[in-house]
């Protein structure tokens, strides 16, 4: 059995192999599902009982995802070869459909509880996140995000002012 990381990276590779409208549709399903998981983490049982704004947001996302998933109709098939008993979803009508297979893989990851391991970077790519606090796909993206943030720009301005006055008053060693 493949490890969680391998399963997630394989699914992301399938997603990256899609092009055009198919890629957009699957990415939208993935984005909405990740948003639902994030919302569900902060929604308490009390919120569900009181029908709070968090619950309403979760319900709206659920309806959007299910509307997008209506497009993917499939049937379970048993493949009888040397691995006898392998069961898979096949698109209906029977055809090779990479988009359908990618959605099935992501839904299987969701069912297996591996979905929180998928992160969306600020650059728009998806990656294997070792924990839910990971926000970037690479060091390069993290640095680019930090260098372009207003907080960092303000800190650089303050340092430049301080260094200017240090050099002007010759208090530099």
Predicted TM-score (pTM) of the model is: 0.66
Same domain, 74 and 129: yes
Q: How far apart are CA 54 and CA 49, in angstroms?
A: 11
Burial track 58-75 (b if 16+ CB lie within 10 A, e otherwise): beebeebbeebeeebebe
Chain segment 46-85, per-residue pLDDT in tens: 766 666 777 788 888 888 888 888 888 877 766 666 655 5
Same domain, 122 and 37: yes
Provide the residue range defining the domain that includes 88. Answer: 4-137
- Structurally, how many domains does the chain consist of? 2
Q: How far apart are CA 126 and CA 9, in angstroms?
A: 9
pLDDT computed for residue 43 by the predictor: 67
Same domain, 59 and 101: yes
Same domain, 31 and 113: yes
pLDDT computed for residue 158 by the predictor: 92
Same domain, 54 and 83: yes
Q: How far apart are CA 12 and CA 25, in angstroms?
A: 14
The contacts of residue 57 (CB under 8 Å, 6+ apart) are 39
């Amino acid at each position: 059995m493949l490890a969680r990381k391998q399963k997630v990276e394989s699914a992301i590779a399938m997603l990256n192999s899609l092009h055009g409208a198919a890629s957009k549709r699957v990415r939208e399903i993935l984005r909405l599902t990740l948003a639902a998981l994030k919302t569900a983490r902060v929604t308490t049982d009390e919120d569900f009982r009181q029908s709070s704004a968090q619950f309403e947001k979760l319900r709206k996302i659920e309806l959007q995802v299910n509307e997008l998933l209506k497009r993917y109709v499939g049937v379970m098939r048993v493949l009888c070869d040397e691995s006898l008993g392998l069961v898979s979803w096949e698109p209906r009508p029977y055809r090779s459909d990479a988009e359908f297979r990618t959605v099935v893989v992501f839904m299987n990851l969701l069912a297996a509880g591996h979905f929180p391991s998928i992160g969306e970077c600020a650059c728009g790519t998806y990656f294997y996140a070792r924990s839910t606090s990971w926000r970037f796909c690479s060091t390069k993206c993290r640095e680019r995000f930090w260098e372009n943030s207003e907080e960092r720009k303000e800190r650089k301005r303050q340092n430049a002012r301080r260094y200017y006055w240090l050099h002007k008053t010759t208090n530099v060693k």
